[in-house]
Amino acid sequence: MFRKSGRLKLSASDRTLKITAYIFTALFALLLMYPFFYTVSNSAKDNVKIYDVPPKVMPEAARSLSIVLDYSGLGTVGEEQLLDKMKRDNILAMFSTLSEYPRDSLFEIKTYGVRDGKTVFYSRAHKMKLELQRDFGVYQGSAVKKEVLLYGDRYVKANEAIGYEFDPAGLSRNPDLPKSGSKYDSRLLSMFADTYKTEGAYVGSDVTTKNALLLESYRYYFQLPSYVYANNHIIARYSFMAFWFNTLLVIGWAILTQAVLCSLTAFVISRLIGRKAGNAVLLYFLGAMRIPFASIMLPQLVMYKEMGFYNNYAALLLPFLYPFGFFVYLFKGFFDRIPGDYFEAARMDGASNLYLYAKICMPLSKPILSLIVLQTFIGNWNDFFWAWMVTEKQNLWTLNVALYNLSSNGSTKQNFIMGLSVIMIIPVILLTAFSSKQLKQSFAASGVKG
C-alpha cells in the first residue's frame, strides 16, 4: 500500500483481500436474510401452496377471475327481487369457486350480473376476505353447499361485508370476456347449472394476472384479529392497531424511564458520591443483572397480583421503574469521561446538581441515549413472557402475545400467521438499517477508560 496523488493506492494482494471480504460479507448477509425472505414469500402464497413439496421460494402469480351471469331470461321481476337473486348468486359463485379451485392462486373473484346487455350488478372480493368470512365470519365452520350458504340471512350479511354495486339502469363496469373463453368455462357452467343452480345463466369467465393482489393480502392480515376476537369491542373496532398501541406504549414508557432513571443513577454514582461508594452501588446494579428472571418470575407475579397490578396497564409498565444495570454502567462510564473543568466552572457560577445533570451531562450523552433507545426498543419489541403472564384481557395484549394467541387458534391459516410475522419484523429491520451509522457512533462513544 502506498500513497499516490494524495490518495492511498492498494496493492494487488490488498485489493484481493478486500474483494474477498466483500463477497463473504454479502454471502453471509444473504444467508441471514434468507429465512425472512422465505417468510415473506410464504405469506404471499395460498395456504395450500405453503405445504408443497419440494417448497418453492417464490409465490405463483396471482390471478383474477371474472364471472358473468345473465338474468335476461328471468322475465318481469321487481328491483328488490332481482337484487336478492343477484346477491344469492354472488355468494354462491364466489365461495363455490374458492372451494373448487384452492390451488389455482385465484386471489380475486369478480361477479358481473348483466341483463338485456347492461351490467346491473357488480361485486369484487379478495381471496383473503372470503377466507375470513368462511373461517371466522358468517360462514364459520360451515360447509360450502347451496343450502348452507343461503341459509337465513347469511348471504345478506356476507354481501354487506364483501360489498357490491347495483343499478337497474346500468353500471359503468362492463366485463370483457375473451373470444376463446377460459379454462374454467366448462367446469363453472356445470357447477352453476347443476350443483348450485344459480338464478343467472352462466355466460363466461375471464382470467388475468394481477401480482399486486399478493400485496393486498396484507390488508386482510391486519383485519384478522377483528374477526377472531369479534366479541371484544376494542379489537373489533381497531383490529391489529390495538396491539400496536399497547406495544408502542410499553416501549415508549420503557425508553423514557430507563433513559431518565439510568442517567440519574449514573450521575449520582459518577459525580456526587465517593469512588468506593460509587463502585459499590454500581456493583449492586451489575450484580442484579446476574439474577435469572426465572428465579424471580413467580414471586414478582404474586407480588403484582397482591398489589392489584395484574391484567391492567400497570402490570406492563411498572417493571421499568427499576434502572437496568448495563445502561447505568454505560452512562457512568461516559460521565466519568466528561472533563471535570465543565462542572467546576458551572459550580463557580452557582449551578445546582440538577443543572449539571440537565445542561451538561445529558446534552453530551446523545450517543449513549441513541444506543439505549435502540436496545430498549428491540428488547421490548421482542419481549413476550412477562406480558403474556400478566395480561388476560385481549385488548391489553402486546404484538407478541397477540401473535402467539392467534397462532394457537386452530382456524388461523399459516399464510396469515406468516404475514403478521413479517409485519412485526419489518420495523426492527428498518430501525436497525436507518440507525446503523448512529449505532456505530454510540458504541464508539460508550467506551469506558481503564
Residue 447 has pLDDT above 80, yes or no: no
Helix, strand, or coil (residue 258): helix
Whether the CB-CB separation of 132 and 126 falls below 8 Å is answered with no
Distance (Å, whole) CA 31 – CA 435: 22
Residue 448 has pLDDT above 50, yes or no: no
Residue written as cell 372470503?
130
Residue 76 has pLDDT above 90, yes or no: no
Whether the CB-CB separation of 199 and 146 falls below 8 Å is answered with no
Q: What mean pLDDT comes out for the span 223-246?
A: 94
Q: Which helix H or strand E contains 9, and what residues bound it?
A: strand 7-9
**DSSP helix, strand, coil percent of the chain (3-state; round to 5):** 65, 10, 25
Segments making up each domain of the chain, as ranges: 63-210, 234-445
Instruction: Output 179 or 358, whichever has higher pLDDT.
Output: 358
Distance (Å, whole) CA 8 – CA 269: 46
- Alpha carbon 159 to its chain's center: 28
* Residues contacting 325, CB < 8 A, separation 6+: 285, 286, 287, 288, 289
Q: What mean pLDDT comes out for the span 139-168?
A: 94
Distance (Å, whole) CA 221 – CA 132: 9
Q: Which helix H or strand E contains 344, and what residues bound it?
A: helix 340-348
pLDDT, tens digit (0-9, with 9 covering 90-100), for 249-291 = 999 999 999 999 999 999 999 988 988 998 899 999 989 888 8
Which architecture characterizes domain 234-445 according to CATH?
Orthogonal Bundle (1.10)
pLDDT confidence of residue 450: 37
**Partners of 3 in the β-ladder:** 8
Strand segments, DSSP code E, in 283-322 are: none
Q: What mean pLDDT comes out for the span 218-246?
A: 93
Nine cell digits for residue 178: 375473451
pLDDT, tens digit (0-9, with 9 covering 90-100), for 79-130 = 999 999 999 999 999 999 999 998 899 999 999 999 988 999 999 999 999 9
- DSSP letters, 359-408, are IIIHHHTHHHHHHHHHHHHHHHHS--HHHHHH--SGGG--HHHHHHHHHH
Asked if residue 35 has a cis previous peptide bond (ω within 30° of 0), the answer is no
pLDDT, tens digit (0-9, with 9 covering 90-100), for 378-426 = 889 988 989 999 999 999 999 999 999 999 888 888 899 999 888 888 8
Identify which of 184, 131, 186 has the alpha carbon closest to the alpha carbon of residue 162: 131
* Residues contacting 129, CB < 8 A, separation 6+: 161, 162, 220
Residue 47 has pLDDT above 90, yes or no: no
pLDDT confidence of residue 217: 93
DSSP alpha helix (H) spans, 101-228: 127-135, 146-149, 154-162, 185-190, 212-228
Average pLDDT taken over every residue of the chain: 89
pLDDT confidence of residue 293: 86
Task: Give the relative orientation of helices 414-434 and 12-43 as an angle to the nearest 10 degrees.
Answer: 150
Residue 180 has pLDDT above 90, yes or no: no
| pLDDT tier at 444, thresholds 50, 70, 90 | low
Q: How many residues does the chain have?
A: 450
Distance (Å, whole) CA 209 – CA 224: 26
Nine cell digits for residue 218: 396484507
Q: What mean pLDDT comes out for the span 359-373?
A: 89
pLDDT confidence of residue 437: 66
pLDDT, tens digit (0-9, with 9 covering 90-100), for 299-345 = 999 999 999 999 999 999 999 999 999 999 999 999 998 888 888 89
Distance (Å, whole) CA 369 – CA 259: 7
Residue 27 has pLDDT above 80, yes or no: yes
* Residues contacting 78, CB < 8 A, separation 6+: none
Whether the CB-CB separation of 100 and 245 falls below 8 Å is answered with no
Residue 449 has pLDDT above 70, yes or no: no
The pTM of the full predicted model, rounded to 2 decimals, is: 0.84
Q: Which of 67-76, 126-135, 435-444 has the highest mean pLDDT?
A: 126-135
Residue 44 has pLDDT above 70, yes or no: yes
Instruction: Output 181 or 113, whichever has higher pLDDT.
Output: 113
